[in-house]
Homo-oligomer: A and B are copies of this chain.
Amino acid sequence: MNPILAVGSVALDSVETRDGKSSDALGGSASYFSLAASRLADIKLVGVVGEDFPQKHREMFDKAGIELSGLETATGKTFRWAGSYTEDFNAAQTLDTQLNVFADFAPKLSDDHKNCPILFLGNIDPELQMEVLSQMKGPKLVAADTMNFWIDSKKPAVKELLGRVDILFVNEQEARSLAGVDSNVGAAKKLLEWGPSVVVVKKGEHGALVATGDKIFPFPAFPKGTIADPTGAGDCFGGGFMGALASNPDIRDHANLKRATVYGTVMASFNVESFSTERIETLTRDELDERAREYVSLLSVNLEAVAA
């Protein structure tokens, strides 16, 4: 099993939906990604929190088997984000962002971390993503996420980053904006030209497109009637996807990529069942595998009877 180094934000989120709210609950891209991926692989988390970060979250990460030597505690307060989904479950409305200690996040990797075979760069400043990548010693597989804020403010750096990663995770609006192309398939093809071998376009409740140089695999979301809180679903998708690749990081193998997409999809479907990281904290490998089999079964088709 290849351990995954996950670099990104660890935050305290306050989220409001039509059905309820959370206050200063565990959030951040690296938290969601790491918890999700930890169900399938060994994870080492690199991030920064403030002195107010609750010990219970640190203990919960530890219990999940997540290696925390890279989770620095800095003087000051933990990154806080507040958002609302009362209008639309597919688009968070940001109510407040307080970067706090995250504003000065500049990780210096340990030798153990530099030698990790798989790297996941959460959606932090693309220049910082490249700086972290430069510290790595020949990883087998590098994946990155990005977001509209960086696409709008540092597009050249995002584009440069793409030349150095194997897998890009990006949501559909961001993919179109980054590529300057008004279709998901067209945007994915354009982004592939900039460097990655695989571009994963995340479409929220509509699933994901996984684009490679010669194929585009469309996968629907696992059907859910009710959603408690969509925060972190994209990072959980990434965690499930990368966790599934840890045992075999060969992304030229389409069967392998499709299995990863299934685990990403299913992981995201669990995450939206509760606020914050609640559901993926308690998620077992058996539950994950069971839903993965159910999902694959929903999509499996035998054409014979009609084609006859």
Contact = CB atoms under 8 A, between A and B. Distances in A.
Interface of A: 40, 183-186, 189, 203, 205-207, 209, 215-227, 244, 247-248, 255-256, 258-263, 289, 292-293, 296, 298-303, 305-308
Given A223-B185, A225-B186, A259 B207 contact: no
A227 B183 contact: yes
A223 B184 CA distance: 9
Nearest to A293: B303
A183 B226 contact: yes
A15 B240 CA distance: 43
B301 A224 contact: no
A23 B186 CA distance: 28
A224 B305 contact: no
B298 A217 contact: yes
Given A207-B218, A298-B215, A247 B305 contact: yes
Given A259-B303, A289-B307, A223 B218 contact: yes
Contacts of A293: 303, 307
Given A206-B203, A225-B183, A301 B262 contact: yes
A222 B218 contact: yes
A183 B88 CA distance: 11
Contacts of A223: 185, 209, 216-218
Contacts of A292: 303, 307
B247 A306 contact: yes
Nearest to A187: B225
A290 B260 CA distance: 26
Given A207-B206, A225-B189, A259 B220 contact: no
Given A206-B207, A220-B220, A298-B215, A263 B306 contact: yes
Most buried by B among A222, A248, A259, A308: A259
B218 A221 contact: yes
B226 A186 contact: yes
Q: Looking at A205, A244, A247, A293, which has the most chain B CB atoms within 10 Å of its CB?
A: A205
A305 B216 contact: no
A256 B307 CA distance: 12
13 contacts: A183-B226, A183-B227, A185-B224, A189-B225, A203-B206, A206-B207, A258-B300, A259-B301, A263-B306, A289-B307, A292-B307, A299-B299, A299-B300
B301 A296 contact: yes
